[in-house]
Amino acid sequence: MTTGSDRFLRPSRRNALIALAALVLVGLAAWYFTHGKTASSRSGRRPATTVGVAKASLANMPVSLAEIGTVQPVITATVRPQLSGNVFSIHFTEGQAVRKGQLLVQIDPRPYRLALSQAQANLTRDMAQLNLAKVDLNRYRTLLAQDSIARQQVETQAATAKQFEGTVAADQAAVGAAKLNLAYTAVTAPVAGKIGLRQVDIGNYVTPGDTNGLAVITQADPIDVSFAVPQNQLPAIQRQIASGASLPAVARDQNGATILAQGRFLTFDNQIDATSGTVKAKARFGNAKGTLFPNQFVNISLLVDTLHNAVTVPVSAVRHGAQGDFVFVLQPDKTVKLQVVKTGPSDTAKIVIASGLPAGATVITEGADSLDDGSTVTLPGDKPRGAGGSGGGGAGGHKGKHHRASAGGDGGGQ
C-alpha cells in the first residue's frame, strides 16, 4: 500500500537523479575541453593548408597619380548680342559644329540702317559747310593781303572753318558707329566649336544684358581635364617638368575600365588651396571623337615616374596587420615565415616591395587567411600525405575545395 508520503518522495527522487546525470555530463564536457583537446593537439600537428605561390621578381613599375577630374573646354563662349533688337532670323542648329565668324542670329537691322543714313546725311551737310568756310577763309586772306579788310575778320573765319572741321570729324565718327551697330545686327560665332541649345526664338527682344545670351559655344578639341594634386606630390612632378619630361595622362570612365582619351600634363595653378592641401592642375587631351564631354567626371591617371628593376610581388601577397605590411615567405621545408616589408607604388596586379624581401623569394598569394608564422603548407602539385583518398582530392590548390574535402572525410568517419 502506497502512502501519501511515498507519492511525494518519488518525483523528488527522480528530479535528484536527473540533476545528478546533468552534473556528470557537465563534468565530462569540462574535462574534454580542458584535457581532451590538449591531448589531441599534442598528438598531431595542424593539417597543412594548400596555398598558391609566386616569385618576387624585378620589374619596371610606373609611378602614377590617380585622381578624379572634371572635363573643361579650352574655350567656353556665351554668345551675346552687342545691341538691342528683335530676333529677325536664326541660322544655326542646336548641337551643330560652327566655325569662327559663322552667322548665328540676325537681329532686325532696319532701325540701324536708318540711323546710318541719318549719320551720313549729317556728314554730307557739315562737309558742305566746311568747304564753304574754307573758300571764304581763302578769300578773306587775299583781301587781307591787299589791306582791304580787318585781320579780325580773317581770324573769325578761320575759327569758323575749324569748328566745321570738328563737326565733320564728329559726323564721321557717328557714321562709323552706325556702321558698326548695323554690323552687330548679324551675330556671328566668336570661336569655332560646338554650339549648345538656343536660348531665344524668332521675334524675341534681346539686349546685351541678357543673362543667358543667345547660345553657348564650347571648344571640345582639344579639351582639358582639371584635377587636384596633393601638395606632397608636387616636388616629384616639378622635378620631371624641370627635366623637360612630358608627363603622359590617361582619362578613363567613372568605372575606370574604359580609356576615353590619352593626353599630356599641361600646367599647375599658381597657388595651393589651404583648405584641402591640394593644387589644381590641368591635362590636355585630343578629343576628335568627342569621347570627353564638358563637365564630365573622369578618372585621370598621370604618369609621374618609373621605378626601374624594383622588387615586385602580386598585390594579393601583401597582407596588413598590427605590425604593418607583411608577406608569408615559403621556406624549403614547406613552412612559411612572416616577413614584415615596406611597400611602394602598385598597379592593378603588382606592388613594389621597397625593403624587406629579396628578388627570387617565393611568397604566398592564395590561402594565407589561416596561416601563422611557421605554418606548414602544401602546393597544388604536391602529392597528398597518407592513404586517405578524400584528403588527396582536397589538395586541389583552392582553399575552399580543401575545406570541403576535409568536411566530407569527417562525415565519413562518423
Q: What is the pLDDT of residues 96-116, one digit of tens each?
A: 999 999 999 999 999 999 999
**pLDDT score of 65 more than 90:** no
pTM confidence score: 0.60
Percent of the chain with pLDDT over 70: 84
Give the other-Cβ count within 10 Å of 80's Cβ. Answer: 18
pLDDT at 85: 93
Is the bond leading into 222 cis (omega within 30 degrees of zero)? Answer: yes
Q: Select from 168, 203, 206 the least CA-distant residue to 184.
A: 206
**pLDDT score of 20 more than 80:** no
Q: According to CATH, what is the number of the domain 83-217?
A: 2.40.50.100
Close Cβ partners of 126 (under 8 Å, ≥ 6 residues apart) = 164, 167, 168, 171
pLDDT at 11: 58
Give me the amino acid identity at 254.
Q
Residue 109 contacts residue 185 (beta carbons within 8 Å):
yes
CA dihedral 181, 183, 189, 195 (to 10 degrees): 70
pLDDT at 318: 92
pLDDT tens digits, residue range 144-198?
888 888 899 989 989 999 999 999 999 999 999 999 999 999 999 999 999 999 9
pLDDT at 172: 95
pLDDT at 300: 92
Residue 86 contacts residue 214 (beta carbons within 8 Å):
no
Question: What mean pLDDT is reported for the chain?
Answer: 83
Q: Select from 176, 306, 275, 282 the least CA-distant residue to 229.
A: 282
**pLDDT score of 45 more than 80:** no
**pLDDT score of 36 more than 60:** no
Mean pLDDT over 246-252 rounds to: 90
Percent of the chain with pLDDT over 90: 42
Instruction: Name the pLDDT band for 34 (thresholds 50, 70, 90).
Output: low
pLDDT at 84: 93
Query: Do the strands 193-195 and 215-218 form a parallel or antiparallel pair, or are they unpaired?
Result: antiparallel
Alpha carbons 314 and 352: distance in angstroms, whole number:
9
Alpha carbons 400 and 234: distance in angstroms, whole number:
46
Half-sphere exposure at residue 409, Cβ-oriented, CA atoms within 13 angstroms: 14
pLDDT at 409: 39
- Helix 151-184 to helix 110-145 angle, to the nearest 10 degrees? 160
Write out the three cell numbers for 344: 611602394
Can you say how many angstroms the Cα of residue 263 is from the centroid of all Cα atoms in its chain?
14
pLDDT at 10: 57
Close Cβ partners of 95 (under 8 Å, ≥ 6 residues apart) = 194, 195, 196, 197
Higher per-residue pLDDT: 57 or 31: 57
Q: Which fold has domain 65-74+219-307?
A: Elongation Factor Tu (Ef-tu); domain 3 (2.40.30)
Residue 49 contacts residue 394 (beta carbons within 8 Å):
no
pLDDT at 393: 37
Query: Residues 31, 32, 36, 38: is their CA dihedral positive or negative?
Result: negative
Alpha carbons 206 and 200: distance in angstroms, whole number:
8
Instruction: Name the pLDDT band for 384 (thresholds 50, 70, 90).
Output: low
- In Å, how far are 65, 168, 176 from 171, measured between CA atoms? 63, 5, 9
Q: Which of 48-52, 88-92, 146-150, 274-278 has the highest mean pLDDT?
A: 88-92
pLDDT tens digits, residue range 207-233?
998 888 999 999 888 999 999 998 888
Mean pLDDT over 252-263 rounds to: 89
Instruction: Name the pLDDT band for 374 (thresholds 50, 70, 90).
Output: confident
Query: Do the strands 103-107 and 223-230 form a parallel or antiparallel pair, or are they unpaired?
Result: unpaired
Q: Which of 69-78, 143-152, 340-349 has the highest mean pLDDT?
A: 69-78
Which one-letter DSSP state was computed for residue 315? G
**pLDDT score of 388 more than 50:** no
Can you say how many angstroms the Cα of residue 336 is from the centroid of all Cα atoms in its chain?
42
pLDDT tens digits, residue range 351-364?
999 888 898 899 98
Query: Do the strands 278-285 and 223-230 form a parallel or antiparallel pair, or are they unpaired?
Result: antiparallel
Close Cβ partners of 378 (under 8 Å, ≥ 6 residues apart) = 48, 49, 50, 51, 334, 384, 395
**pLDDT score of 394 more than 90:** no
H helix runs in 196-253, sequence order = 234-242
Task: Render 248-276 in DSSP notation, one character per residue.
Answer: EEEEE-TTS-SEEEEEEEEEE-SS-BTTT
Alpha carbons 290 and 223: distance in angstroms, whole number:
9
> At CA 228, angle to CA 225 and CA 231, rounded to 5?
145
Mean pLDDT over 120-144 rounds to: 92
